[in-house]
Amino acid sequence: MWQTWLVDFDQVYERFRLPVWRLARRLTESEEEAFDATQEIFLRVWRGLPGFRGEAKLSTWVFQIAWNYLRGYRRKMGRTLNLVSEDFDGECDVVASVRDSGPDPERRAEATEMLDRVEDALCRLPEHYRVVVWLRDGEDLSYQEIADTLDVPIGTVRSRLARAREALRDLVES
Amino acid sequence: MTDETIIELLSRHIDGDLDPHEERELTTRLEEDPTLAARLQTMRDLRSSVAALAAADEVPAELDRVIEPLLSGRPEPLTTRPWARWLATAAVIVLGATVVIEVHRRNPAPGIESLARIAEEPRADADKPFALAPLPTSSVPVEEQPLGASDRLLASPIPEIELEEPRALEVLGPLAEGDGFTSGREPAASQRDDLAAARAAPVAKGTAEGRSEPPDTAIARRRQESEATAEKSATASEADAAIRAWDAETPRGQAKLFVFIDGKSAWREFTPSASCKPGRYTVRIVVSGGVVREARPVGGATSASPSQRLCAAELIVDLEIVEVADGEYPAEVVVECRSAGH
């Protein structure tokens, strides 16, 4: 109730709109799905904010809501992958607009190609690998914050992240 | 050392998660094995690439438009309305941080003791951090939550946001320099220094108003604001009901200190003496490791109302901290006596 004066939804939205969108984009298969998912997540944030009492960091709390929603969504859509997918055919076009930075056309093309490959490899990673790589390398969350978000022990985060990075390397180089 | 162990060391190394021993061990391995160094570099490159993907993302403008109903359903951001900020501060004063001390009616008053003395008494749980309430979570499994609710949101009116009205302050008076030392024991010189320092410090840390306004003026203004707000509130407000319920449930002599910092709330029980005294106090909130550890009174009791048999005290911590950084923060405390029939 009145605590929302201290943690205002406007501020939460402003701060987390991009991170939530990015996570949704990585765990859904199209921009349209990510768009709907982001709305759903912020609706849950909006509903839950009056009850937010600060036991967790705000970022962890928001990412928890996002992850729980996206995981449920993926299950509903039958998209939970337990193995690295070799035949992924979903859309991975999120970086299409990114690739025009840098002065040197040749290096720019190389960078673009590398980003393409990494994005594509990310899409092929199982979701429990993908989310941990994204939260650490994309969102710069600490191991503890990732553990809190995913509700797993911190040791699991360490080992899972190592395996995920190795799997990502294999996919990029393959 | 297995391959998996090495990979985990590399992964933790680029995140700076290794302890010195592990770091030395890995350094030795990297010097011995050039392929491992190449693997480490690849891992670093991939990390940078993922970060670059994140940095390049942009939120579709359409999303802001879709979220707009949620934004407009809230009060204006407080930062754009100074008066609302003060109202919020008043709400924080009255409701945000409260300690209720209950003394049973039939207890013989053993004499008036200052809250400072009460709080200085050793407590068994002195080193225990504030207990935190469980994180509220939905009882409905996420898998069972309906999809597409945002569509319905757009089509439906925004629900009313209930904002609790601040409760009236009944015994607030202007904080004069002599307050806090009019009766009871005389504070030590160090306490006077602390009190003076606390009064001189911004009452609401992090707010421009708090810094630019003398504490006494700020207090008087907050008092006026809270009184004005209270006139609008119902006689039996939710806050009163909550306090009554709390009084009924709380064992004699138990008290709770509530602190709200950076959207985080914490509370801690402690045991004051059997009597309390109305008035105004100054405390310092001690934050350590991002957790509120202690509320340390630095002032004495104020106005005399010596034989309060049934007396509830509220410690009202006027405190707003934007970031929970370690340190000591000045705060204001009000002890409020209630009628015997309460």
CB B70 within 8 A of CB B38: no
- Per-residue pLDDT averaged across B45-61, rounded? 89
Residue B134: pLDDT band (50, 70, 90) is very low
Say whether residue B22 is in contact with chain A using an 8 A CB cutoff.
no
pLDDT at residue B152 tops 60: no
- Per-residue pLDDT averaged across A109-135, rounded? 87
Contact flag A53-B264 (C-beta cutoff 8 Å): yes
d(CA B49, CA B54): 9
B59 to chain A: which residues are within 8 Å by CB? 17-18, 21
pLDDT at residue A147 tops 70: yes
Q: How far is B268 from chain A (nearest CA, A)?
A: 14
- Per-residue pLDDT averaged across B97-120, rounded? 43
Contact flag A118-B50 (C-beta cutoff 8 Å): yes
Residue B86's pLDDT is 60
Q: Select from B253, B275, B308 the least CA-distant residue to B110.
A: B275
Residue A37: pLDDT band (50, 70, 90) is very high
**Burial track B134-169 (b if 16+ CB lie within 10 A, e otherwise):** ebeeeeeebeebeeebbeebeeeeeeeeebbbbbbb
pLDDT at residue B320 tops 70: no
Q: Which of B132, B145, B153 sits opposite A72 (nearest CB)?
A: B145
Residue B314: pLDDT band (50, 70, 90) is very low
Residue B196's pLDDT is 38
Q: Which of A39, A42, A48 sits opposite B136 (nearest CB)?
A: A48
Tens of pLDDT, residue by residue over B195-238, are 333 333 333 333 333 333 444 444 455 445 544 544 444 333 44
Residue A24: pLDDT band (50, 70, 90) is very high
DSSP code string of B107-162: SPP-----HHHHHHS--TTTTPPPB-PPPP--SS-GGGSPS-HHHHHHHSPPPPPP
- Per-residue pLDDT averaged across B41-58, rounded? 90
Compute the mean pLDDT over every residue in chain A, rounded to the nearest whole number.
80
Q: How far is A75 from chain B (nearest CA, A)?
A: 8
Highest mean predicted confidence (pLDDT) among B30-39, B61-70, B219-228:
B30-39
User: What residue in A sits closest to B291 (Cα-Cα)?
Assistant: A55
Residue B63's pLDDT is 86
- Per-residue pLDDT averaged across B101-130, rounded? 42
Q: Which of B7, B51, B134 sits opposite A55 (nearest CB)?
A: B134
Say whether residue B46 is in contact with chain A using an 8 A CB cutoff.
yes
A36 to chain B: which residues are within 8 Å by CB? 147-148, 150
Q: What's the order of all strands across the beta sheet hosting B327-335?
A: B291-297, B279-288, B327-335
CB B319 within 8 A of CB B235: no
Residue A162's pLDDT is 95
Residue A106's pLDDT is 72
DSSP code string of B175-228: --TTTT-SSSSPPPHHHHHHHHHHHHS-SSTT-HHHHHS-HHHHHHHHHHHHHH
pLDDT at residue A45 tops 70: yes
The overall pTM is greater than 0.95: no
pLDDT at residue B143 tops 60: no
Higher pLDDT, B322 or A19: A19
CB A141 within 8 A of CB A62: no
Residue B101's pLDDT is 45
- Per-residue pLDDT averaged across A25-47, rounded? 89
Highest mean predicted confidence (pLDDT) among A75-84, B95-104, B120-129, B130-139:
A75-84
Q: How many CB pairs under 8 A join A and B?
A: 186
Contact flag A43-B4 (C-beta cutoff 8 Å): no
Residue B4's pLDDT is 83
Contact flag A162-B42 (C-beta cutoff 8 Å): no
Higher pLDDT, A48 or A108: A48
- Per-residue pLDDT averaged across B301-318, rounded? 36
pLDDT at residue B306 tops 50: no
High-pLDDT (> 70) share of chain A, %? 78
CB within 8 A of A60, min separation 6: which ones? A141, A145, A148, A149
What's the complex ipTM?
0.84
Say whether residue B4 is in contact with chain A using an 8 A CB cutoff.
yes
Q: How far is B212 from chain A (nearest CA, A)?
A: 21
Q: Which of A1, A10, A119 sits opposite B77 (nearest CB)?
A: A10
Kind of pairing between the strands at B291-297 and B279-288:
antiparallel
CB B78 within 8 A of CB A8: yes
B143 to chain A: which residues are within 8 Å by CB? 72, 75-76
- Structural element, H or E, at residue A44: helix A31-48
Intra-chain end-to-end CA distance of chain B, in Å: 70
pLDDT at residue B73 tops 50: yes
Residue A107: pLDDT band (50, 70, 90) is low
A169 to chain B: which residues are within 8 Å by CB? 39, 42-43, 46
Contact flag A17-B71 (C-beta cutoff 8 Å): no
d(CA B181, CA B303): 9
Phi/psi at B313 (nearest 5 deg)? -115, 140
Q: Select from B295, B291, B248 the least CA-distant residue to B270.
A: B295
pLDDT at residue B171 tops 60: no
Contact flag B142-A46 (C-beta cutoff 8 Å): no
Say whether residue B77 is in contact with chain A using an 8 A CB cutoff.
yes
d(CA A150, CA A132): 9
pLDDT at residue B137 tops 50: no
Say whether residue B19 is in contact with chain A using an 8 A CB cutoff.
no
pLDDT at residue B129 tops 90: no
DSSP state of A51: G
Higher pLDDT, B87 or A19: A19
| Chain A interface, best mutation among B3, B5, B6, B8, by max A CB count within 10 A | B8
Say whether residue B153 is in contact with chain A using an 8 A CB cutoff.
yes
Higher pLDDT, B333 or B33: B33
A24 to chain B: which residues are within 8 Å by CB? none
Higher pLDDT, B110 or A168: A168
- Per-residue pLDDT averaged across A146-174, rounded? 92
Contact flag B50-A162 (C-beta cutoff 8 Å): no
DSSP code string of B31-86: HH-HHHHHHHHHHHHHHHHHHHHHHH----HHHHHHHHHHHHTSPPPGGG-HHHHH
Q: Select from B329, B257, B260, B229 the least CA-distant residue to B98.
A: B257
